A = this chain, B = another copy of it.
């Protein structure tokens, strides 16, 4: 592993010039730049990150704090963020708050690991932070971007949960459904307590706009898993007398559980019941699930762009503070008009 002096010697310049030529900070004549790059390549020189960081205060590394790693949404965001960081020459250091370590583990992340001067910025994925944790992040005086729930004092990125639920429900209404159930989130949802509320609000608003008063017995909370969706859907669909003709699940995993529940009840999807989810989960295609896709990989990449904008001011037009994240209704085979079709509006019986 040659050092910077070897490169300087070979290129016939000072180490200062090598540093400037390779990093792009400071002016170097074109010809010198070429000589330095050639020398570096020839020697296989790669800058020592600790030395560079110590001298410059920059680490070229971003810390990503996640509540779970092995869940589709998080790992997809990670995938997108990691790839975007790599393109920008940044490493991604992962701080999972999952493990068996529990409270101690979590505290050590905020009180030790993130304070080691190892990251230039922090990306926080949908995670409910205590005020103390939030404060230690802010004390870092480093760019922070959050994905998901609002974080006081932090630039965040999130989909419009009300709008997404509105879109999903309106799709069902547009097909002619009038009796639409919803599988939502528990109110004490661990990750972001606004999400369940907002998605339910969108659902209810869509119904009311269509002149339908939401029926409380058609709403059931679950835990965002396949199993939870299965159980809730079973409860909602079991009784033929109260059975909705369509189900809106606040996540694709719950929607998939609903599809399986419907089948186990002997109901056909979408013949007897239409089902729509939210996510665009990797398995939604296989299940033929109609869904509102939210593209988590792009969210990760997007968050990285925002961080890069803060890390390199002037690099391009600054990102506006609140970018609405794109979502897309993907219609597959789990939704269809109700059957029998609703009666056309008729004059009320005398």
Q: Are A93 and B96 in contact (CB under 8 A)?
A: no
Q: Does A319 contact B (CB under 8 A)?
A: no
Q: Known contacts being A87-B101, A99-B79, is A116 close to B47, with CB within 8 Å?
A: yes
Instruction: Identify the closest chain B residue to A118 (Cβ).
Output: B49
Q: Determine the chain B residues whose CB is within 8 A of the CB of A123 once the complex forms.
A: none
Q: Which B residues lie within 8 Å of A87 (CB)?
A: 99, 101, 105
Residues in chain B near residue A76, CB distance under 8 A: 69-70
With contacts A47-B116, A48-B116 taken as known, whether A82 is within 8 angstroms of B54 at the C-beta atoms is no
| Cβ-based interface call for A20 (8 A) | no
Q: What is the total number of copies of this protein in its complex?
A: 2
Contact code string A30-51 (vs B, CB < 8 Å = 1, else 0):
0000000000000000111111
Please, how many angstroms separate the alpha-carbon atoms of A277 and B289 in the complex?
Answer: 25
Question: In the bound complex, do residue B92 and residue A94 qualify as a contact, i.e. CB atoms below 8 Å apart?
Answer: yes
Complexed CA–CA distance, A180 and B31 (Å)? 70
Cα of A262 to Cα of B54 in the assembled complex, Å = 61
Please measure, in the bound complex, the distance between the C-alpha atom of A118 and the C-alpha atom of B230, giving whole angstroms. Answer: 46
Check if A115 sits within 8 Å of B46, measured CB to CB. Answer: yes
* A286: chain B residues within 8 A (beta carbon): 225-227, 230, 257
Q: Quote the shortest CB–CB distance from A96 to chain B (angstroms).
A: 4
Q: What residue of chain B has the Cβ atom nearest to residue A257's Cβ?
A: B286
Name A46's contact: one of B46, B105, B112 (CB within 8 Å).
B112
Q: How far is the CA of A93 from the CA of B47 in the complex (A)?
A: 18
- Check: A282 CB closer than 8 A to any chain B CB: yes
The reply on A197 being an interface residue by CB < 8 A is no
A282 touches B70 (CB 8 A): yes
Whether A72 is near chain B, meaning CB under 8 Å from some CB there, is yes
Q: Give residues 109-138 of A contacting B (CB, 8 Å).
A: 109, 111-113, 115-118
A92 to B119, CA, bound (A): 12
Cβ A105 vs Cβ B86 within 8 A: yes
Q: Which 5 A-B pairs have the closest CB atoms?
A: A83-B99, A50-B53, A70-B75, A49-B116, A46-B115
**Residues in A lying within 8 Å of B, measured CB to CB:** 1, 46-51, 53-54, 59, 61, 68-72, 75-76, 78-79, 82-84, 86-87, 91-96, 98-101, 105, 108-109, 111-113, 115-118, 225-227, 230, 257, 263, 282-283, 285-286
- A and B contact pairs by CB, cutoff 8 A, 17 listed: A46-B116, A48-B116, A48-B117, A69-B82, A70-B282, A71-B75, A78-B96, A82-B95, A82-B96, A83-B99, A86-B96, A87-B99, A91-B118, A92-B94, A226-B283, A227-B286, A230-B286
